[in-house]
């Protein structure tokens, strides 16, 4: 209700002090062991200080257990594919089988493979690997120290309420639990994933070609695919080509198109003796960040405003803490069950990220064969060999139910289905570059939390070891830098990056993209940069599973506001916060699509009032907000027109078809369009037919509202903002008492930083 119009003096009303080290006026002080002090500030944030590095991470483990033990416990079970076992009697409420099913499909690691991640990390980098091992060992010791205290506490005051209510026994932690928590967050929940949808592309392309013919069907598919739309909003305007393969250079021998209707996905989870719900609210990957360079910022130092969007849970998925001592100096957000600050700041710089979604996974189609001494078709062809499929069956109980997980894996990765190609049976598997390598990224956060990334180049060098696909923003007292991390495969010549490729050995990856070829920019010339999970850079092809990088993306809500702020002179910290907060309540359709639609809706006199109403809404910013708190949106009638029959007025994440609409409407209007659609059109493509369709749609909305409210007058149309309220999902028993909050589109944890020299 306050933004825009914030002053720097207002920021303390909305953001707490985020200093590193012991608070000046601690509300509570603990000493879990000699050498470790935990002081909590007025907001309850734990400030851990230690004499040694081991002391610091012991303290981090202790406060993790104190503040998020149940959630960390859930994550370590999700990261093992055993959430149904952990949830037990409340499996229906938690929808635990959905996580277990995803785990089996994308990971399916055994306990030995989790340990192998630790062993391999030590081998790859003995120095950093040993630090990670030592930090993790101290961290686990801290968790177990708190668990021991909780067990010994006769009053049960230290036992998190969930354990007693749900009758879940406390279990000690071990190092592989930390690995499992990492796997759950980056791979199962999927913040670090991208690609692996080529089989679905194959099926969609085939369906379009059967309906429209080979040429027209392929052209429509390319329109929809938006693989490298020149109008797509980007975080850096520099060009970083990746996967830009001309159709003429695709070798048809490499492509394995699935027969129509032949694909059957595997279901790795079977439940007997009781029902297990299949869904759970998964944290959404819709983080954002904004930066203004020092050249354009008041005070001469860059400004960072940003944070992760990990859904709305109570207690929240992330844990904020401060770590100080033994070479460590960092504050920010940690993933419960892991030791490092992954989004935060040190004394010299700040860093944050959004999910990148770039292509680090490919679908491989495997030809079946019979290995020596094996069952028929229990292997796949690789080179001159018949490699047996790995098959492992795990069984456990979940309340009264028995859960059986069947893990099946080819030489390339987890099997996700079966199909036929030219009538021959095949196995469909997904090869992921970060498969069973998640913990290798930990070394980057050792260096970040040790205050070692003192320059943008050092930051890129460090973050180049992160194998998850993420958009990183870094600022220090002088520079603002963007880097797109991930372990990106170099495909063999002739492979179509959008379609399944054969897994027979001829089309294997040819190494990985060097960090110098990944999107990176320091102090962008336009004076600002944004990321809201949008396309990283020009020429950087959207992952095969991503059809959303068209001309409209939610980052435009940030970009338009920052561009205006930069154009009007030095930008204050509050000015950047204003841009974020103002964008948070924008209906993206109103900002980016509606102006073009209204240009086609002016011919019908009966619609003049509706057109005027919507134009006024667009001019005022196209917001969905109730600034006076009267229980109605400020632009009630306009918002109602955007969803005339739906009480749920829109997604908090605004992801969808808007780019398609923008481009087809502009094409119909005869306006400048880059990357024109070849087949996709608005009502045939002509201005007159498109205008008629737009007017008919608007008239239908007006008629629906007139019937619903008993009046054609917009003054009688109303909406209920509560239908858009953000509801907190269950992260513990506190979710039962946390009130809903008004709709807004912004991160769940956010930091505002300017480091002045």
Write down the pLDDT at residue 284: 52
Q: How confident is the model at residue 732 (pLDDT cuts 50, 70, 90)?
A: low
Write down the pLDDT at residue 725: 83
CA-CA distances (angstroms) from residue 386 to 375, 389, 412? 12, 9, 13
- 703 part of a folded domain: yes
Q: Is the pLDDT of residue 16 over 60?
A: yes
pLDDT tens, residue by residue, 429-483: 999 999 999 999 999 999 999 999 999 999 999 999 999 999 999 999 999 999 9
Q: How many domains does the chain have?
A: 1
Note whether 206 and 218 are within 8 A (CB): no
Q: Is the pLDDT of residue 735 over 90?
A: no
pLDDT tens, residue by residue, 141-169: 999 999 999 999 999 999 988 888 888 88
Q: What is the DSSP letter of 459?
A: H
Residues 6 or more apart whose Cβ sits within 8 Å of residue 100: 78, 81, 82, 83, 84, 269, 403, 405
Write down the pLDDT at residue 94: 58
* Strand ranges (E), 302-374: 303-307, 313-314, 319-325, 328-334, 343-345, 350-355, 361-369
Q: Above pLDDT 90, what percent of the chain?
A: 80
Nearest to 65 by CA among 219, 176, 167, 177: 177
Note whether 520 and 236 are within 8 A (CB): yes
- 310 part of a folded domain: no
The torsion angle over the Cα atoms of residues 3, 610, 715 and 649, rounded to 10 degrees, is: -50
pLDDT tens, residue by residue, 177-207: 999 999 999 999 888 999 999 999 999 999 9
pLDDT tens, residue by residue, 391-438: 999 999 988 889 999 999 999 999 999 999 999 999 999 999 999 999
Q: Above pLDDT 70, what percent of the chain?
A: 94
Q: At what angle do helices 175-183 and 111-124 cross, to 10 degrees?
A: 90
- 553 part of a folded domain: no
Nearest to 723 by CA among 626, 655, 627: 626
Instruction: Tell me the mean pLDDT in the region 607-611.
Output: 91
pLDDT tens, residue by residue, 259-274: 999 999 999 999 888 6
- Give the chain's end-to-end CA distance (angstroms, integer): 33
Q: Which domain holds residue 659?
A: 588-622+632-719
- 488 part of a folded domain: no
Q: How confident is the model at residue 733 (pLDDT cuts 50, 70, 90)?
A: low
- 602 part of a folded domain: yes
- 329 part of a folded domain: no
- 63 part of a folded domain: no
C-alpha to C-alpha distance for 517 and 381, rounded to whole angstroms = 33
- 711 part of a folded domain: yes
């Amino acid at each position: 209700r306050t933004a825009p119009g914030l002053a720097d003096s207002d920021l303390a009303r909305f953001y707490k002090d985020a200093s590193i080290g012991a608070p000046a006026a601690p509300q509570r002080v603990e000493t879990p062991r000699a050498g470790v002090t935990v002081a909590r500030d007025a907001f309850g944030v734990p400030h851990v200080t230690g004499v040694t590095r081991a002391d610091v991470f012991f303290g981090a483990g202790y406060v993790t257990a104190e503040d998020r033990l149940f959630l960390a416990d859930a994550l370590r079970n999700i990261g093992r594919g055993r959430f149904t076992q952990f949830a037990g009697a409340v499996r229906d409420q938690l929808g635990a089988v959905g996580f277990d099913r995803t785990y089996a499909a994308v990971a399916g690691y055994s306990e030995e493979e989790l340990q192998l991640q630790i062993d391999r990390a030590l081998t790859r980098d003995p120095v950093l690997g040993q630090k990670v091992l030592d930090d993790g060992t101290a961290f686990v010791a801290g968790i177990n120290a708190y668990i021991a205290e909780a067990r010994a506490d006769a009053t049960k005051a230290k036992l998190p309420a969930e354990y007693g209510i749900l009758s879940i026994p406390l279990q000690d932690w071990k190092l592989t639990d930390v690995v499992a928590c990492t796997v759950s967050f980056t791979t199962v929940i999927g913040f670090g994933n991208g690609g692996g949808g080529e089989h679905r592309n194959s099926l969609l392309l085939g369906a379009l070609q059967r309906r429209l013919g080979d040429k027209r069907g392929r052209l429509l598919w390319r329109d929809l695919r938006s693989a490298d739309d020149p109008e797509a909003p980007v975080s850096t305007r520099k060009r970083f080509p990746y996967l830009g393969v001309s159709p003429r250079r695709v070798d048809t021998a490499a492509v394995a198109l699935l027969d129509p209707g032949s694909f059957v996905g595997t279901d790795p989870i079977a439940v007997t003796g009781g029902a297990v719900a299949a869904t759970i609210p998964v944290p959404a990957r819709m983080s954002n960040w904004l930066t203004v360079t020092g050249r354009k910022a008041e005070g001469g130092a860059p400004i960072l405003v940003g944070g992760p969007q990990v859904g709305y849970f109570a207690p929240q998925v992330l844990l904020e803490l401060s770590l100080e001592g033994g070479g460590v100096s960092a504050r920010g957000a940690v993933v419960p069950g892991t030791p490092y600050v992954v989004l935060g700041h040190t004394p010299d710089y700040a860093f944050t990220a959004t999910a990148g979604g770039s292509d680090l996974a490919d679908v491989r189609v495997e030809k079946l064969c019979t290995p020596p001494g094996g069952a028929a078709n229990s292997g796949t062809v690789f080179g001159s060999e018949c490699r047996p499929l790995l098959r492992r069956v795990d069984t456990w109980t979940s309340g009264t139910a028995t859960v059986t997980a069947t893990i099946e894996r080819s030489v390339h990765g987890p099997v996700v289905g079966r199909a036929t190609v030219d009538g021959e049976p095949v196995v469909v598997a997904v090869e992921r570059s970060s498969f069973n390598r998640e913990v290798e990224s930990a070394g980057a956060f050792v260096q970040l939390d040790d205050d070692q990334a003192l320059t943008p180049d050092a930051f890129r060098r460090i973050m180049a070891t992160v194998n998850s696909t993420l958009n990183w923003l870094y600022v220090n007292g002088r520079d603002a830098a963007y880097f797109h991390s991930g372990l990106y495969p170099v495909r063999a010549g002739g492979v179509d990056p959008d379609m399944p490729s054969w897994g027979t050995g001829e089309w294997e990856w040819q190494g990985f993209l060097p960090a110098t070829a990944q999107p990176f920019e320091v102090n962008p010339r336009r004076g600002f940069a944004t990321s809201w999970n949008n396309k990283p850079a020009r020429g950087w092809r959207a992952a095969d599973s991503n059809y959303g990088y068209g001309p409209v993306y939610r980052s435009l809500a940030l970009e338009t506001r920052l561009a205006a702020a930069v154009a009007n002179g030095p930008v204050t910290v509050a000015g950047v916060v204003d841009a974020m907060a103002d964008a948070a309540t924008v209906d993206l359709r109103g900002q980016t699509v509606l102006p073009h639609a209204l240009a086609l809706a002016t011919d019908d006199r009966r619609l003049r009032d509706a057109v005027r109403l919507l134009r006024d809404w667009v001019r005022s910013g196209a917001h969905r907000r109730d600034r006076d708190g009267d229980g109605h949106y400020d632009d009630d009638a306009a918002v109602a027109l955007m969803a005339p029959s739906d009480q749920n007025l829109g997604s908090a994440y605004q992801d969808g078809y808007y780019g398609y609409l923008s481009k087809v409407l502009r094409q119909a209007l005869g306006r400048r369009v880059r990357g024109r659609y070849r087949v996709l059109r608005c009502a045939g493509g002509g201005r007159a037919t498109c205008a008629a369709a737009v007017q008919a749609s608007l008239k239908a909305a007006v008629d629906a509202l007139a019937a619903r409210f008993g009046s054609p007058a917009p003054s009688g149309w109303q909406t209920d903002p509560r239908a858009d309220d953000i509801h907190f999902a269950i992260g513990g028993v506190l979710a039962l008492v946390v009130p809903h909050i008004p709709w807004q589109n912004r991160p769940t944890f956010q930091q505002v930083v300017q480091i002045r020299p």
